[in-house]
Structure 1
Amino acid sequence: MVDTDALLVVDSVDVHLEGKWILRDLSFAVQPGEFVGIIGPNGAGKTTLMRTLLGLLQPAAGKIEFMQSDRVVSGSSLLGYAPQSRQIDPETPLNGWDFVSFGLPRRVRPWLTREERARVKEAMRHTDCFEFATQPIGKLSGGQRQRLFLAQALVRNPQILLLDEPTAALDPGAQEGVAELVATIARTRGIAVLFVSHDVNLIAKHADRVLYLTPGHHVIGSVEEVLQSRVLSRLYGRPVDVMRVGSKIFVGTIETDRVDETICYHTEQEEVIRYVSV
């Protein structure tokens, strides 16, 4: 696979962990400014893919190229990474400014240069979190902290942004705010974004393309191409329903009353549609 315009090319990648294949023959490319949403059930390899792209895991086969290079030097500013929103001790003596500045390329001096201060300020303004510069991060809400994580990832001026469930554990309003912010950053700054989520609707609304993973299998394409019963049934090897109710998309089967927290939505009539995550 050769794509001279792509920032990231994943070519026939296999990843084997703990005696089983997690990713098999995975291939896709990501262009500048493109927002690729990654969804799939638990154990499908979403976080494994993130760890592989970060160089924490080595593929058993295949090739990963960043801007036509097969390696990213440790500490490179090419990649920016933001993890899931995490609980932080309320007494943590660290303010938003210092937290974001930790994302700068490694340095031995304890102070910031004028250029570095400008980069921190710019990253915080781009993520609408400059107002938290002097506030202790432990006192902030999950959505506010996640904006700081994004600013920390952006302060390196990356060309590829890897986001591993950045909206997990956030309330719906904060989830939408983070996803909209990321989509805007991708468009305005030309950054390629890989955004892992369990929320089909969040991805459907904001992503340019969807990479849908199941253990050992995958499909990639536009939202309309991927989120079809025929496509997902073939991907899972069993019948899968894709239903649209108003502006919501539901993916699952009607086999049990168990509710999955990521595939349970209220309709406009406040009725709960209970679906099992597949």
Structure 2
Amino acid sequence: MNDAITLNNVNVYLGGEWILRNLSFNVAPGEFMGIIGPNGAGKTTLLRVLLGMIQPQDGTVKVGGKNIKSAGSLIGYVPQSRQIDPETPIQGRDFVSFGLPHKYRPWLTKQDRILVEEALHLTDSEKYADKPLGKLSGGERQRLFLAQALLRDPEVLLLDEPTSNLDPGAQENLAAVVERVNRERGISVVFVSHDVNLISKYAHQILYLTREQYVKGTVEDVMQPDVLTKLYGVPVEVTRSGTKFLMSSPNIMEPVSPICVHSHSEVS
């Protein structure tokens, strides 16, 4: 069976600088992988590569064993939380239906309606499906984005910081729904987040990106002082309180050295 995602020696150069360098990793079928790292590390750039929006200068990218140009139907995408005009009249159910795998038509078939209701049920969003999109909370809208992404029955679900701008309760609820989708449907998940503590509850593996550097492994293995010190090039301390991690360094904002931890040296 092909891996859900395979990257091999991917390099991306944008705006006069290298954003991703020699990035290689795979996501197994049904795996939940979290992507974390500081601002500017290339997390969103990586998702754009997976979506086919950015062409790497070097390297190969495959989804479900297919080249990225022919893998679009295998991918579902949930963007960052968006500001929506409170007067937007479209109902949640109609918004979800825009994700159906055919061109827009003014009516839905019986099968279309079944697919929409299944997506609403899977994301626990039936109770506000008939409310105007503009009147919903950020967390409720993000569930509808998730439901929309699931209509094509994707093999891979990409989420670009979907919990940004949500309150802690809404963040936790949305992440839990994504985990249930991953577990019940076997859909591979790539979840970009700035919050390692949110990701650590659900991810099987994490990819920790810094500029031009990365490491992939379990949360327990990656969130170690020696591993993060190599990534940042400065001493990093990690404190754990219960299930939460706190990372600190007096020089964390200083430029990092060109140390690179590649996937063939993944933490194991």
Which TM-score applies when normalising by structure 1? 0.88
Q: What is the deviation of 1:235?
A: 0.9
User: Match for 1:56: what amino acid?
Assistant: M
Find the counterpart in structure 1 of residue 151 from structure 2.
155
> How many angstroms apart in 2 are the aligned matches of 1:254 and 1:248?
20
Structure 2 counterparts to residues 111-130 of structure 1, below 5 A: 111-130=107-126
Pick aligned residue for 1:109 from 105, 111, 121: 105
User: Match for 2:137: what amino acid?
Assistant: S
Secondary structure class of the residue paired with 2:70: coil
Q: What is the deviation of 1:254?
A: 4.3
Find the counterpart in structure 1 of residue 181 from structure 2.
185
User: Match for 2:157: what amino acid?
Assistant: L
> How many angstroms apart in 2 are the aligned matches of 1:115 and 1:29?
35
Pick aligned residue for 1:196 from 192, 211, 217: 192
> How many angstroms apart in 1 are the aligned matches of 2:104 and 2:80?
28
1:131-184 deviations in Å (ceiling 9; x for gaps): 122100110111111110100111111110000001101111111111111111
> How many angstroms apart in 2 are the aligned matches of 1:225 and 1:66?
26
Could you tell me whether the CA contact under 8 Å between 2:27 and 2:33 is conserved in 1?
Answer: yes
> How many angstroms apart in 2 are the aligned matches of 1:177 and 1:100?
19
Could you tell me whether the CA contact under 8 Å between 2:50 and 2:68 is conserved in 1?
Answer: no
> How many angstroms apart in 1 are the aligned matches of 2:251 and 2:232?
15
> How many angstroms apart in 1 are the aligned matches of 2:64 and 2:206?
21
State whether structure 2 residue 54 is matched by structure 1 residue 57: yes
Secondary structure class of the residue paired with 2:206: strand
Pick aligned residue for 2:68 from 64, 67, 71: 71
Could you tell me whether the CA contact under 8 Å between 1:66 and 1:72 is conserved in 2?
Answer: no
Find the counterpart in structure 1 of residue 245 from structure 2.
249
> How many angstroms apart in 1 are the aligned matches of 2:129 and 2:177?
18
Secondary structure class of the residue paired with 1:205: coil
State whether structure 2 residue 83 is matched by structure 1 residue 87: yes
Q: What is the deviation of 1:107?
A: 1.3
Secondary structure class of the residue paired with 1:10: strand
Find the counterpart in structure 1 of residue 161 from structure 2.
165
Q: 1:122 to 1:203 in 2, by over 3 A?
A: same
> How many angstroms apart in 1 are the aligned matches of 2:54 and 2:158?
15
For structure 2, list consecutive stretches of 5 or more residues without a partner in the other structure. Answer: 253-268
> How many angstroms apart in 1 are the aligned matches of 2:99 and 2:113?
12
Find the counterpart in structure 1 of residue 202 from structure 2.
206
Identify which range, 47-56 or 244-253, moves more after superposition. Answer: 244-253
Secondary structure class of the residue paired with 2:38: coil
Aligned-CA RMSD value:
1.4
User: Match for 1:84: what amino acid?
Assistant: Q
Secondary structure class of the residue paired with 2:230: helix
Q: What is the deviation of 1:73?
A: 3.5
Pick aligned residue for 1:99 from 86, 95, 99: 95
Find the counterpart in structure 2 of residue 133 from structure 1.
129
1:220-256 deviations in Å (ceiling 9; x for gaps): 0011111101001001111111111233211122469
How many residues end up aligned between the 2 structures?
252
Find the counterpart in structure 1 of residue 260 from structure 2.
none
User: Match for 2:60: what amino acid?
Assistant: K
Find the counterpart in structure 2 of residue 234 from structure 1.
230
Could you tell me whether the CA contact under 8 Å between 1:241 and 1:252 is conserved in 2?
Answer: yes
Q: Which of structure 1's runs of 4+ aligned residues deviate more than 3 A? A: none
